[in-house]
Structure formats: structure tokens, C-alpha cells
């Protein structure tokens, strides 16, 4: 069976594959929804493998953000076909597509994934912690929330990422259910996911302001939330856990190639491992 899997061709996917791809991420209990997959399939380069019956059994996505920077994510293999080299082949396809375009590639890896990507030439950058909150513990005094400024979000995101994601952020902010929220000295993007609302990126002048903004968001929505916090902000992380958030897993951000521009600030939370 392993040799058979190794011979299955890698194909390029398109928007018609959204449901099959969504089934894979659902099986893996990931938080992506159909809108996320449509974005990858229409804006990115998504590779896949089908079994002999035509069923999609694996994916990997390359999402170019600029002419020099791209994100690799959505590396998924259905459970009964894992550990047969399919994921490695798909990541290699993404890297080859990036090489042809002259792109530096980034990804957020689990600890197990980091052990695979390191030998391929990926270098570690920042560490992340994914946290989940099922519901705000109790009403607490919160700062007033106002609609955030999309231009300011893009500017701060460029400062944090080192490259421009102005095609990505407006699309996500404009989805039904998305909210771009701000207080006097903090701002965050909130969007729908399959199992929970996702908060990020989050930018703030200090940890207390970031924590106050996140607290106000969850109090205003009353739903389950996920956040991918940047580990260097220890005070922010501690504050989240004191408020009832629990860490689900760590991620290691990694880069293949040279960054085109140095980052000028660290966000308090990122847009998610699928988007960076």
C-alpha cells in the first residue's frame, strides 16, 4: 500500500475541491471553514492527492502574499494514509513552486512538524501558543469597542510580518461575521471558524491593552474562541490563562530563505497557522 501511495500523482486543486478539502480539515479537527478553503483555492496554489477512487486524501497549500513572500499550510493527510510520505511529497511540491517564483516561504509548525521541516532547511523564528476559551467566565469591566481602521491594521501588519498582506486582510475582514475591533490603544480582527471564533491578528501598545481588548471581545460575543498568541509576550499569555484560556498546542514559526525585510514589532496574536 505504501508503494501504491507513493505512485499516486500530485495534482493542482481548484474551487471545485473545496468540500473535499474541508472534509480533510474537519477530520483533523482543525478550525478552518469553507470560506478559508475557497480563499486558498482561488488565491493560492493548492496541491492534492486522490486515491484510486478519486477521493481527495491529502492537501498542501502555497499562498503567495507578495512577489517575494509566501505561506505554506493546510498540509493534511487523511488518517489511514498517514506516515507514507504523502505529506513530504506535497510540501516538496510547494517548495518547488515557490522556488520557481523566487519566493521565501514561511509556515507555522507543530513540534513534530518542526522536526521534519528543520532538516529541509526551514529556520525557526517566533514561537506561538494556541489557546482556547469556551466561554467568558463572568462579566467584567471592559473598555468600549469601536470599529477598527483597516488601513491601520494593514500598516501594523506590515510592520509585524515584514511584508504586505493587503489582499488577505480586507478579504477576511469583509466576510460575514467578521469584526475589526479597536479600543484606544489596541485592535484585533475576529472571524468565524468551524468550531470557534478566531481572534487575530492582535496589535496593542502594551500587554494590558491587548488583554483588555481580548477580554472585551469575548464578553461581547459569548462564544468559544481561539487565539494564537506570540510566546514572547509572557504577560499577555499569563493574563489569558488567568482569565480561563487553556493552551491547546504550541507552534513554531519557520522560514525557508531570507526575509525581505526585518520585522519592527511582534503582534500579540497572529492570524492563525494557516495564514501566518
Answer whether residue 79 shows pLDDT above 70.
yes
Out of 50, 68, 102, a domain closes at 102
* The pLDDT of residue 173: 97
Answer whether residue 139 shows pLDDT above 70.
no
Answer whether residue 31 shows pLDDT above 80.
yes
Mean pLDDT computed over 58-85? 92
pTM of the model: 0.92
Comparing C-alpha atoms, which of 271, 273, 108, 130 is closest to residue 191?
271
Q: Do 35 and 137 belong together in one domain?
A: no
pLDDT tens, position by position, 87-106: 989 999 999 999 999 999 99
* The pLDDT of residue 1: 44
- Residue 11: which CATH number? 3.40.630.30
Domain span at residue 172?
A: 128-270
Give the chain's domain count. Answer: 2
Q: Do 10 and 47 belong together in one domain?
A: yes
Q: Do 199 and 92 belong together in one domain?
A: no
Name the average pLDDT for the chain.
Answer: 92
Answer whether residue 18 shows pLDDT above 70.
yes
- 83's CB contacts (< 8 A; 6+ apart) are none
Q: Do 85 and 197 belong together in one domain?
A: no
Q: At what angle do helices 234-242 and 207-221 cross, to 10 degrees?
A: 30
- 40's CB contacts (< 8 A; 6+ apart) are 21, 46, 61, 63, 73, 74, 274
Amino acid at each position: 500500500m505504501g508503494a501504491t501511495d507513493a505512485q499516486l500523482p500530485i495534482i493542482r486543486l481548484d474551487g471545485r475541491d473545496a468540500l473535499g478539502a474541508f472534509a480533510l480539515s474537519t477530520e483533523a479537527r482543525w478550525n478552518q471553514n469553507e470560506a478559508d478553503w475557497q480563499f486558498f483555492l482561488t488565491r493560492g496554489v493548492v496541491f492534492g492527492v486522490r486515491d484510486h477512487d478519486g477521493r481527495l486524501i491529502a492537501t498542501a497549500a502555497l499562498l503567495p502574499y507578495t512577489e517575494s513572500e509566501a505561506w505554506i499550510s493546510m498540509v493534511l493527510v487523511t488518517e489511514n494514509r498517514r506516515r507514507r510520505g504523502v505529506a513530504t511529497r506535497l510540501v516538496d511540491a510547494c517548495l518547488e513552486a515557490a522556488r520557481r517564483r523566487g519566493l521565501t516561504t514561511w509556515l507555522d509548525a507543530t513540534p513534530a512538524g518542526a522536526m521534519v521541516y528543520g532538516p529541509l532547511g526551514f529556520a525557526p523564528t517566533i514561537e506561538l501558543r494556541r489557546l482556547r476559551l469556551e466561554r467568558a467566565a463572568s462579566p467584567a469591566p471592559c473598555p468600549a469597542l469601536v470599529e477598527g481602521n483597516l488601513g491601520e491594521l494593514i500598516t501594523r501588519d506590515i510592520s509585524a510580518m515584514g511584508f504586505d498582506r493587503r489582499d488577505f486582510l480586507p478579504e477576511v475582514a469583509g466576510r460575514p461575521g467578521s469584526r475589526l475591533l479597536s479600543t484606544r490603544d489596541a485592535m484585533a480582527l475576529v472571524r468565524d471558524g468551524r468550531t470557534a471564533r478566531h481572534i487575530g491578528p492582535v496589535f496593542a501598545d502594551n500587554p494590558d491593552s491587548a488583554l483588555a481588548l481580548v477580554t472585551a471581545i469575548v464578553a461581547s460575543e459569548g462564544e468559544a474562541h481561539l487565539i494564537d498568541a506570540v510566546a514572547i509576550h509572557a504577560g499577555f499569555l499569563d493574563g489569558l490563562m488567568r482569565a480561563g484560556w487553556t493552551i491547546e498546542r504550541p507552534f513554531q514559526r519557520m522560514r525557508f530563505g531570507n526575509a525581505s525585510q526585518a520585522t519592527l514589532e511582534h503582534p500579540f496574536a497572529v492570524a492563525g497557522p494557516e495564514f501566518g
